[in-house]
Amino acid sequence: MMKTMNEFKFHMPVKVFFGADCLNNNASELLKYGKRALIVTGGHSAHRSGALDDVIRILNESGADHEIFSSVENNPGLDSVGRAGEMAASFGADMIVGIGGGSPLDAAKAAAVLATNPIDPIRLYENVFQNKPLPIVAIPTTAGTGSEVTQYSILTRKDVGTKMSFGNESTFPVLAFLDPNYTMSMPPDVTANTAVDAFSHAMEGYLSKRAGPMSDDLALASMRYFAMCREALLSGDPNYTDRENLLYSSLLAGTVIAQTGTTALHAMGYALTYYKGVAHGRANGLLMEEYLRFNESEAGDRIALALKTAGFDGIADLGNFMRSLFPDRIEILPEEAADFEKLALLQRSAKNTPRLPNLGDLAAIFLTGTHK
């Protein structure tokens, strides 16, 4: 049998609207899904971006009711998504609108499941839900998570001591509104963290053992748009066009990981976030140079093409860029690195890594990557 392309599946059921004022221009789409919305946010960014006010005005003008759950913390835990789910159920919500960065969007997915399935939040990880989750509408105010076009919800697991994801085909949002204007008020550190998160999704999706021709093309396209914004990220002063490119880059990268998953780099980053308080994108950025070196023997050609597409002159150049963007290093002790490695290897995504790590390999990446 002739075969030049590997068989692949591509499932992306989210209706996406992208561009300035896309929510206002397509308000009727939001109203199709119900008359009682629970809005899930993390506080300031939803308001500061203007997205929350726009959603409330659209709902009010159409006579729809809403309640707001605004206490999603960074890297939300099972307790807070449990409360959001209870609030949705007692309000009789017929849809969930998530507004914010990855944390509120991921919490919105959990709340949508828990609203129709009165289970202990830990059972989200069984990934089989008796009842269909409420429709989820996602409105990102950062450019990096990609959560608006993925099925994943990443929550903090205090019982395990790291972050872990759940999600299946029923937890994709039904609708996503991506307006670059909503990302204009992001402070420079959040802009840098989230941009590197998106780049990490594109890179890991491209290197993943589950990559296919279509995810590859989208990953490389995402990297081309990232390349256009590199200078603006370093200067800390992105203009509207940069914001648009970053948001589009993030959208493309999200559609990639929805198919391919992430890899050991994300798995390692979760431990740095949980134990060292390192922002998610920065955690990936600090480890990326050593992670790529580790995989070079198995995926050298793909790494070279990806880096070239993103405007880097090899792995060392990428490392220099990350050190410029994130100059503060973090201290990790050898025994901590060994513990973090164990946690990383618990993650399903670690199995997607091109070079399967032996014991000690990831600990070495933690130590070298964060101390340069």
- From the CB of 333, what's the least distance to Fe ion, in Å? 25
Q: In this complex, which beta carbon is closest to Fe ion, that of residue 47 or of residue 276?
A: 276
212 φ, ψ to 5°? -140, 180
- Cβ-closest residue to Fe ion? 197
- From the CB of 310, what's the least distance to Fe ion, in Å? 16
- From the CB of 197, what's the least distance to Fe ion, in Å? 4
The C-alpha atoms of residue 219 and residue 202 are separated, in whole angstroms, by: 5
Q: In this complex, which beta carbon is closest to Fe ion, that of residue 54 or of residue 289?
A: 289
3-state SS record for 5-60: CCCCCCCCCCEEEECCCHHHHCHHHHHCCCCEEEEEECCHHHHHCCHHHHHHHHHH
Q: In this complex, which beta carbon is closest to Fe ion, that of residue 181 or of residue 193?
A: 193
Going by C-alpha positions, the residue among 264, 120, 119 that lies closest to residue 203 is 264
Q: In this complex, which beta carbon is closest to Fe ion, that of residue 106 or of residue 197?
A: 197
Q: Distances in Å between the alpha carbon of 167 and those of 80, 102, 113, 190?
A: 17, 14, 10, 25
Q: In this complex, which beta carbon is closest to Fe ion, that of residue 103 or of residue 309?
A: 103
- From the CB of 359, what's the least distance to Fe ion, in Å? 25
Name residue, tokens 């409330």.
Answer: 56
The C-alpha atoms of residue 179 and residue 177 are separated, in whole angstroms, by: 6
CB 55 within 8 A of CB 39: yes
Q: Where do contacts with Fe ion occur on this chain (CB under 5 A)? A: 197
- From the CB of 201, what's the least distance to Fe ion, in Å? 6
